[in-house]
């Protein structure tokens, strides 16, 4: 299961409120995309869900349990960042299996899981290479592999493709869509790319200045943008 609920979530840094009264329900298996201009609070909201920041108000529930006091590693979520943060001195196999090794999983079981993840991501031929011997797209796939092997309740993606060139971005977008079809794991995906949002999302959340402007399917937002802001971001002209 991977159901995530935000109930009146707030975040302030000092007296600067960056997230205000956010209510949102993410269903198990749903692919939800956060869009909005730079600085509107997308990453902060994701980090609150991950537990990398503490809320200053409201509640976050994962499968019905309030996780306010649950540390990030115990929330059962896997985060994928735009910077790959791979260990340069380790093989692809060790990079993907790192979290499992830290969790004390025996080598044989770990290898089985790493190889299954590599298969899903077409990384099997590269398991013994180091990150420096891979292309940008392959490195991003390793980062995703590291998230997959942990079999999380949900993936949290923060602009995972923004460092890639345009052609690779299209490839990786298709790959993420295929992965979603294969695994069906809940995902929250932050992007400022309208095409990524429209093609990947079951549900799009449009944010502006720390608040939700509108939530809906790509088609709903396109056909019925709630206001000019949403229309300007993804809708047809209103």
The residues binding ligand ADP (CB under 6 A) are: 13, 18, 36, 38-44
**By the 8 A CB rule, do 34 and 45 touch?**
yes
Residue 43 as a binder of Mg ion (CB under 5 A): the answer is yes
Query: CB 109: neighbour CB atoms within 10 A?
Result: 10
**Which of ligand ADP, Mg ion, none binds 15 (CB below 5-8 Å, type-dependent)?**
none
Q: Which is nearer to Mg ion, 44 or 214 (CB)?
A: 44
Q: Which is nearer to ligand ADP, 37 or 99 (CB)?
A: 37
Q: Which is nearer to Mg ion, 9 or 123 (CB)?
A: 9
Q: Find how far residue 128's CA is from the centre of its chain.
A: 27
Q: Which is nearer to Mg ion, 47 or 203 (CB)?
A: 47
Cα dihedral: 100, 101, 104, 109 (round 10):
70
Q: For the chain, state the CA radius of gyration.
A: 18
Q: How far is the CB of 50 from ligand ADP (least distance, A)?
A: 12
Q: How far is the CB of 143 from Mg ion (least distance, A)?
A: 16
Of the candidate spans 8-16, 21-29, 42-50, 109-117, the one that interacts with Mg ion by CB under 5 A turns out to be 42-50
Q: How far is the CB of 150 from ligand ADP (least distance, A)?
A: 24
Residue 185 as a binder of Mg ion (CB under 5 A): the answer is no
Can you name the residues that pair with 5 across neighbouring β-strands?
Answer: 25, 61
Q: How far is the CB of 190 from Mg ion (least distance, A)?
A: 6
- Alpha-carbon gap, residue 19 to 11, rounded angstroms: 5
- Alpha-carbon gap, residue 107 to 97, rounded angstroms: 9
> 3-state class of 37 per DSSP?
coil
Nearest to 134 by CA among 120, 149, 145: 145
Q: How far is the CB of 27 from ligand ADP (least distance, A)?
A: 23
Nearest to 233 by CA among 189, 180, 195: 195
Q: Which is nearer to ligand ADP, 134 or 221 (CB)?
A: 221
The residues that touch Mg ion, with contacts defined as CB under 5 A, are: 43
């Amino acid at each position: 299961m991977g159901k995530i609920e935000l109930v009146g979530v707030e975040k302030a840094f000092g007296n600067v409120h960056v997230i205000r009264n956010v209510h949102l329900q993410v269903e198990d298996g749903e692919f939800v995309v956060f869009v909005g201009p730079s600085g509107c609070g997308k990453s902060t909201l994701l980090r609150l869900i991950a537990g990398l920041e503490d809320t200053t108000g409201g509640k976050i529930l994962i499968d019905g349990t309030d996780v306010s006091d649950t540390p990030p590693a115990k929330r059962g979520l896997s985060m994928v960042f735009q910077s790959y943060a791979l260990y340069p001195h380790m093989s692809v196999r060790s990079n993907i299996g790192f979290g499992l090794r830290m969790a004390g999983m025996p080598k044989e079981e770990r290898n089985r899981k790493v190889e299954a993840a590599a298969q899903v991501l077409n990384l099997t031929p590269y398991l013994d290479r180091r990150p420096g011997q891979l292309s940008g797209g392959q490195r991003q796939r390793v980062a995703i592999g590291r998230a997959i092997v942990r079999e999380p309740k949900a993936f949290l993606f923060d602009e995972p493709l923004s460092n890639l060139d345009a052609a690779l971005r299209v490839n990786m977008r298709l790959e993420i869509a295929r992965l979603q079809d294969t695994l069906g794991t809940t995902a929250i995906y932050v992007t400022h790319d309208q095409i990524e949002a429209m093609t990947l999302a079951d549900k799009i959340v449009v944010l502006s200045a720390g608040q939700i402007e509108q939530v809906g399917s790509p088609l709903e937002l396109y056909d019925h943008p709630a206001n000019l802001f949403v229309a300007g971001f993804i809708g047809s002209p209103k």
